[in-house]
Amino acid sequence: MAISTGSVAPDFTLKTKTENGLEDITLSSFFGKENVVLLFFPAAFTGVCTQEMCDVSNGLHSMPNAKVFGISTDTPFAQEAWAKANKIGVTLLSDFGRKVSAGYNVLWENFAGTGGDSSYRAAFVIDKEGVIQYSEVTENPGVMPNFEAIQSTLAKI
């Protein structure tokens, strides 16, 4: 079960790949400044994950008062190639070590019987104070997060 609402969001620093190379993103650097939405997804270059990140990138699921991050256990280099191939504008964070997925209780061990670990599809809305205001995990990788609930939560904070 994912971390529940009302909990303090576990802090982390993850890598993202930009045109300037690898950069660190630290969750707590947004505390006091911006709301954050974390969208964990199982794997780059897969159908539903591509649809989710493309839909968010294209504004289908508008989240104007939050910084949005997509998180997967893919390498930052794979994420970069996937983002370029699909015009994904969401900042992607690599949880290659799987510590953040485990910390948010969304680590999917033996992902789809492959022997490797990944993240469940999950969503967290974190307010400016670093408190989780919305928490969702979909154990079926074909099911998207409830974007209406995410947007409703953001509208209230």
Q: Out of 9, 36, 49, 63, pick the active-site residue.
A: 49
Q: Is 49 a catalytic residue?
A: yes
Contact call for residues 154 and 29 (beta carbons, < 8 A): no
CA 35 to chain centre: 14
44 Cβ contact list (under 8 Å, min separation 6) = 50, 72, 74, 78, 79, 81, 82, 92
Where in the sequence numbering do the catalytic residues fall? 49
